[in-house]
Amino acid sequence: MRNIMQWVMAASLICGATMLTSFTNGDAPDSPIQADEVEAQLQKMTLREKVGQLFYVRPECLDTTIHFNLPDDVDSISDDIKAIKLHAVNATMRGVNRNYPVGGIILYAHNIVDEDRLATFVSDIRALNGSPLLCIDEEGGRVASIANNGNFAVEKFESMAAIGATGNPRNAYYCGNIIGTYLRRYGFDIDFAPVADVNTNPENVRIGDRTFGSDPAVAAPMVTNYLQGLKDAGVTGCIKHFPGHGDTKADTHLGYAQSLKTWEQMTDCELITFKAGIRWGTQLIMSAHIATPNVTGKDIPATMSSFILQDKLRGELGYQNIIITDAMEMGAITQQYTNAEAVVGTLLAGADIVLNPQRFVEAFDAVVKAVEDGALTEQRIDQSVRRILRLKRQIRGGDNQSL
């Protein structure tokens, strides 16, 4: 493992004398021609094709022969999924996918064996209906499906907290660029990283050293430099978990979690990193399943709150790109909502992409039915699909693959 001084020296070699603390570009807005091309593609799509683009799922979601004990025990679900060890696209998955297209597939550590099998898996996923983007949680540190697999000879990082402790944003750039470089080599498009939370609660059991620390003034340039490192390697980043998971105690994988801060308190801390990411031009922000009762006046997860996603994130902070949910199979969602309530509710709240719903086929059908019944308009679906198609064009250089 590379020590801190080696990070500094290597990052300096990569970055030269350029300071990496004030990026504002992200991705340039669409030209009128690009916007017209996205609109033309949207108009050709059926409702089912549009709905499919809203779902980014684990590969197991396409195999309907797999049955999980949902929603009774989240820990056992996770263990069951890992035990399946799905490492390839099978006939059942292809059959389901013919009628249920997907916009993206996320691979986890248990899906990844070695370079050869990953290459075949990625190639087969690329051929699925919906032209899915390939995603992964590769933050560095303890959340790193590839770096923590001994079959992959890639550089490992201690933690984002260790990088934050250096106080040098060049180290965050270097980390993001190294991770982005090997992700790109293995065929991934999106990395659900970096964590933009500010770790202000020492009792936080889930976030901890995944963040760049407890000082938002230090963490903010770390977040944007990490994003730039990914971008320069050809991978799109995603900052998480809005509006800030750092001042919580409970684990949203298991059930209800909350932050008791007011919006004003969040503005002085949690939101500093997210504002920096938005100014930089981040293409994706992941919502947290935490409740913020002193902001919303309700015990509703941020993922399900139009006040958080629409009024605050889009309205007050001016964010116009993609909102993706945290995994919807987590206890903070499943213990309060049915599968249909969760997926339709988060879209009504303003999310664009639903990550890992409980039962994908059932969730997909629930969205189609909601549109047919008028509970969810196709115009609302179109708003999200436009953003998703735009991102796909940016990632693929304008290459319009068949959906």
Q: Kindly state whether residue 68 falls inside one of the protein's structural domains.
A: yes
Give residue 67's pLDDT: 61
Q: How far apart are CA 160 and CA 222, in angstroms?
A: 9
Cβ neighbours of 56 (radius 10 Å) = 25
- 165 within a domain of the structure (yes/no): yes
- R_g (Cα) of the chain, nearest Å: 20
Task: Report the b/e string of 282-311 with b at 16+ CB within 10 A.
Answer: bbbbbbbbbbbeebbeeebbbbbbbbbbbe
pLDDT digits (tens, 9 = 90+) for 292-348: 999 999 999 999 999 999 999 999 999 999 999 999 999 889 999 999 999 999 999
What is the predicted pLDDT for the residue at 9?
A: 38
pLDDT, the chain, mean: 88
Convert the pLDDT of each residue in 136-168 to its tens digit: 999 999 999 999 999 999 999 999 999 999 999
Secondary structure (3-state) at 241:
strand
Residue 21 lies in a domain: no
pLDDT on residue 208: 85
Count of Cβ atoms closer than 10 Å to residue 84 Cβ: 14
Give the single-character DSSP code of 301. B
Report the DSSP pairing between strands 239-242 and 236-237: unpaired
pLDDT, tens digit, for every residue of 24-41? 445 555 677 788 899 999
Question: Does residue 252 sit within a domain?
Answer: yes
Domain that holds residue 304: 4-10+42-395
The predicted structure's pLDDT at residue 80 = 66
Position 284, amino acid? L
Q: Do the Cβ atoms of 56 and 108 come closer than 8 Å?
A: no
**What 3 state SS string does 144-200 have?**
ECCCCCCCCCCCCCCCHHHHHHHCCHHHHHHHHHHHHHHHHHCCCCEECCCECCCCC
Q: What is the pLDDT of residues 206-263, one digit of tens each?
A: 788 999 999 999 999 999 999 999 999 999 999 999 998 766 544 555 556 888 999 9
Full-model pTM? 0.90
Nearest Cα to Cα of residue 367 among 357, 70, 71: 357
Report the C-alpha gap between 85 and 94 in whole angstroms.
Answer: 18
Return d(Cα 396, Cα 387) in angstroms, integer. 14
**Best CA proximity match to 273, nearest among 290, 257, 285:** 285
Between 216-232 and 169-185, two packed helices, what is the crossing angle to 10 degrees? 30
> How far from 210 is each of 108, 137, 138, 195, 217, CA to CA, in Å?
17, 12, 11, 6, 17
Whether 18 is in a domain gets the answer no
Task: CATH number of the domain at 365, please.
Answer: 3.20.20.300
Residue 311 tokens read as 């009024």
Whether residue 402 is predicted with pLDDT greater than 50 in this model: the reply is yes
Task: For residue 70, name the pLDDT band (cuts at 50, 70, 90).
Answer: very low
Of 52, 79, 74, residue with least CA distance to 289: 74
In the chain, what percentage of residues exceed pLDDT 90?
Answer: 77
Decide if 20 is inside a domain.
Answer: no
Q: How many CB atoms lie within 10 A of CB 340?
A: 18
Within-domain flag for 33: no
* Widest distance between CA atoms in the chain: 60
If one counts the domains in the chain, the total is 1
Residue 30 domain-assigned (yes or no) = no
